[in-house]
Structure 1
Amino acid sequence: MPAFDASSAFNAFNASDRPTLLLTGGSGVLGRALIEELAPGFRIVCLRHRTGVADPRVEEVPADLTQPRLGLSPSDLARLTADVDLVVHSAAATNWKAAPEAIWRANLDGTAAVLDLAARAEAPVYHVSTAFVANPLAPEEQRRFPGAAAYLASKTAAEQAVREAAVPTAILRPSVVMGDSRTGRIAGAQGLTRALGAIVKGQVPVLPGAPDARIDMVPQDVVARAVGELLRAGATGGEYWLTAGTQALSQGEVVDVCLEFAEGYGPRPHPPRLIPLESVHRLLLPLIEGPSFPESLRRRFHTYAELLLVFQRALPFDSSLGAPHCGTTVSRDDLRQALVRNLAAWSAGPGGLRRAPRASYGASSARRLAS
């Protein structure tokens, strides 16, 4: 499929007449970062479902991914068809507690509707998928975790629909999107953020997975910068892995960072015991699913098991970061620093530690971040 020359189109516009970019998922973690990255060069129109963006740089249009033609009014559909120059499809159903059929509707039918609108507008589509399509669940995992299974399968099917689209496309595969690498702030608490917070609080006695399993996380601004460069270069027809790759932290390293961070606020929590995945399936999950196990602990561990089964990986992902027009690479030290800043932002917010770090922690923490 020939590449859409967005770079020529982009340069043809001046600051007062910018190309129009249709963005879905603008209120999400990555969507907010994309607005920061793209607002200077594009006129952004966001499709809004439940949560508005409330950003003066953005025009919002009511829509619904699960409805025919995105639930757009005839006038909005006609206007977008006439005005849109390119599309970034970042919206997805990511709540694994939702019914599997609802996840499929949003992720596959929604993508098909976005592609149909793009075809009407003759606009290229940049589809935000997930690197974890490379982590298919085993049949036993699919039975125990139907939400995660539906998410991964629907994202895989959506990618195929994108490849078969009538317009130029690019598939973007970020891994876990963390908060900002400089401030640590994130638009909303994600499941993995809550799991890391529970480790800091010493509330996690066991975790599924080996210490050397990789947990691939990339800060939101790093992902957004790569997407911005791809758009401005007009890169289509490719699949881009927006991941840490070989630099991803291991699960053992992530736990150590959490425990070191907790030490700044009080005694170091007891480290969680890391249990091999085969033992999780054969012994631990059947045990906690029994009637004698406390319901609150059962729910918590089930959530952590679901997250970590999807988000950990024995081998590193491929990574496109640092390739031409695809942002910059991240080092293991970059990721450790970003994780500490993410924990600091979490600790100051709802559900965090809600207390100041010990006075002696500031200098030692600064030294660790600088090293």
Structure 2
Amino acid sequence: MTARRTVLLTGASGVVGRSILRESGPSGPRIIPAAHSSPVPEAQEPPLALDMTADRFGLDADGYAALAAEVDVVIHSAGLTEWGLPAERYEPINIEGTRRVAEFAERAGATVHFMSTAFVAALAPDAPVPLSEGNVCVNYIRSKHRAEHLLRDSGLPHTVFRPTNLIGDSRTGWTSRGQIVQLMSDWLARGRAPFIPVHPGIRMDFVPQDLLSQAVLRAIELGDDEGEFWVTYGEEAMDTETCLEVLAKHVAGRGRSLTLPPLVDADTLDPDVLARTPPMTRSYLSVLRDVSEVTRCSGGVLPTSMPELRERYGVARVDDTAAYLAGLEYAAEHLG
């Protein structure tokens, strides 16, 4: 019988961290949750107040050594995920924090499972078009890309999981807090968009958070210590038109109607048209355009490891449109 593993989960209070804790049953690994300050209601033991930006996570030498002696595996989920910030804002947690995790894992003799982003596909050398310097996501993506290289260069046993934009639990729509998909969907559902800038042919690739959690926990169970996994739907992902149809169905289910805004080719959008919209509208439209650009730079369809994740890790086969609708319903009821 394999010994029960002890896992240090960084970013335990975040969307991914709390989802992993919900998915981990009593027969799963022992998870030591680490969070800088926020509560972690799903945790089975009190969270450790670790500072990923500090030497030894802010612990004294004895405490750090004691933690390293306990831990077999690190799930590194801590990070700054907000878009649109200067590059230097991502450095302390996304890059130096990953460096400190690598130092800890070397001390502990632990495998690292790193939560990156599928958006790094836009930085591939063979990307069909380069990502623009003004893209709202570019500095965030580069920080995750650098963190991946840092782990690769460390020589440590590790895996990299690259999820696309996450939505709520596939069964219930639950999420610990709203993210970009919920925010943008709510804005669109209120009929605020005069048009939607999008690159023709791209996929709207949203993945339920529990699928990512299932994959990571199964990798730990199997003792996997290498691999790169794109947690996306790829060619299976819905197109823009289908996404809007799901949104209209959600709105209709709440007793309202939604006139779907026209789609406008983001490449041919006149900048003056965007500039004439109100500031809040311009901000939302710019984000829609930039996220579309990220997918366009990835070839219009994100790389996917979903077939392998289903076969090797038993990740559930979930219809993305049904999961998106469930997430919309949960957000409307609980996230306000």
TM-score by length of 2: 0.89
2:160 corresponds to which of 143, 147, 171: 171
Residue 329 (structure 2) aligned to one of 332, 344, 355:
344
Mapping for residues 67-146 of structure 1, pairs under 5 Å: 67-136=54-123, 141-145=132-136
Partner amino acid, structure 2, of 1:257: V
**How far off its partner does 1:266 sit?**
3.2
Question: How many pairs align?
Answer: 328
Q: 1:315 to 1:303 in 2, by over 3 A?
A: closer
Please tell me the residue identity of whatever aligns with 1:160: H
Unaligned runs of 5+ in 1: 1-10, 352-371
The one-letter code sitting in structure 1 at the alignment partner of 2:162 is R
Check whether the contact 1:176–1:218 (CA below 8 A) recurs between aligned residues.
yes
CA distance in 1, matches of 2:18, 2:115: 14
User: Residue 181 of structure 1 aligns to a residue in which SS?
Assistant: coil
Partner in structure 1 of residue 215 of structure 2: 226
1:278 aligned counterpart, secondary structure: coil
Structure 1 position 296 matched with structure 2 position 280:
yes
Counterpart of 2:187?
Answer: 198
- In the TM superposition, residue 139 of structure 1 has moved relative to its aligned partner by 6.5
Would you say the 8 A contact 1:93–1:103 is kept in 2?
yes
Structure 1 stretch displaced more, 149-158 or 159-168: 159-168
Letter in 2 for 1:249: M
Using the TM superposition, name which of 230-239 and 201-210 deviates more: 201-210
Q: Residue 248 of structure 1 corresponds to which residue in structure 2?
A: 237
Q: CA deviation at 1:36?
A: 1.9
Identify the residue that residue 13 of structure 2 maps to in structure 1: 27
Tell me the amino acid that sits aligned with residue 51 of structure 2.
Answer: D
Are the equivalent residues in 2 in contact too, given 1:322–1:329 (CA < 8 A)? Answer: no
Q: Is the 8 A contact 1:87 1:125 kept in 2?
A: yes
| Selected match of 2:320 from 315, 332, 335 | 335
Per the TM alignment, residue 26 of structure 1 is displaced from its structure 2 partner at its CA by 1.2
| CA pair 116-202 structure 1, distance change in 2 beyond 3 A | same
Q: Is the 8 A contact 1:211 1:252 kept in 2?
A: no
Q: CA deviation at 1:172?
A: 1.1
Taking structure 1 as the reference length, the TM-score comes to 0.82
Between the aligned partners of 1:117 and 1:215, the Cα distance in structure 2 is 37
- 2:260 aligned residue: 271
Which shifted more, 201-210 or 304-313? 304-313
Contact 1:21 1:86 in 2 (8 A): yes
Contact in 2 for aligned 1:131/1:174 (Cα 8 Å):
yes
Question: Where do residues 26-65 of structure 1 align in structure 2 (5 Å cutoff)?
Answer: 26-40=12-26, 41-65=28-52
CA distance in 2, matches of 1:144, 1:222: 28
Rounded Cα–Cα distance in structure 1 between residues aligned with 2:182 and 2:72 = 35
Matched letter for residue 214 of structure 1: R
Instruction: Please give the alpha-carbon distance, in whole angstroms, between the structure 1 residues aligned to 2:55 and 2:215.
Output: 31
Q: Structure 2 stretches of 5 or more lacking a match?
A: none
Change (3 A) 1:92 1:39: farther
Match of 1:115, SS? helix
Partner residue in 1 for 2:303: 317
Separation in structure 2 between the aligned mates of residue 311 and residue 188 of structure 1, nearest angstrom: 24
